[in-house]
Amino acid sequence: MRINFIRHGQTPSNAEKRYISRTDESLSEYGRSCLDKPYPDCDIVVCSQMKRCVETAGIIYPDKMMITDNALTECDFGDFEGKNYNELNGDEYYQKWIDSGGTLPFPNGEAPTDYKDRICGAFIRIMSGLENYENISFVVHSGNIMAILERFAVPHKDYFSYAAENGCGYACSYENGIITIIETI
């Protein structure tokens, strides 16, 4: 089986390098225009229910059946939501979070370990219902891609090694619960 993991297109907040999770933001015009490139074909599309993912999937795969899943929502950034480095610089908890390598829970948000478990559990659940498909595309958030590949890809790499730019991602093979990256998208 082949799986494509594609990060949603750019939003206005992505361009400003803001932490955006639960804010349901549409793609920017620039983000839409950057999706005008070839993407791997698929039989079915799975995506987060957030506008930025649904819009991206509709642009890339306009004629494909789409399944949305609320469990694929990005990590809840809590008090960091909507802010960027410049606005958080000097914040004591933000500095502690940076110093931890991103392992501390977001204040009033989600713990990274809980987030990764949620995403990987959703991936396993979703894949168990898609055995009859040969080519599946996930149009999701960068954190989703990083969590899934950190847990299931070989050779193993750390979470941040799998970061994807907007509209980019990975084409992979998937067999017996193991993901092998074939190429970048």
How would you class 175 by CB atoms within 10 Å of its CB: exposed for 0-12, middle for 13-18, buried for 19 or more? exposed
How confident is the model over 81-114, as pLDDT tens digits? 999 999 999 999 999 999 999 899 999 999 999 9
pLDDT band at 74 (very low <50, low <70, confident <90, very high): very high
How confident is the model over 115-163, as pLDDT tens digits? 999 999 999 999 999 999 999 999 999 999 999 999 999 999 999 999 9
Q: What is the CATH number of domain 7-184?
A: 3.40.50.1240
**Sheet harboring 135-140: ordered strands across?**
65-69, 44-48, 135-140, 2-7, 169-175, 178-184
Q: Fill in the amino acid letter for 121.
A: G
Residue whose structure tokens are 């995403």: 119
CA distance 96 to 103: 10
C-beta separation of 31 from 60 below 8 A: no
Share of the chain above pLDDT 90, in %: 99
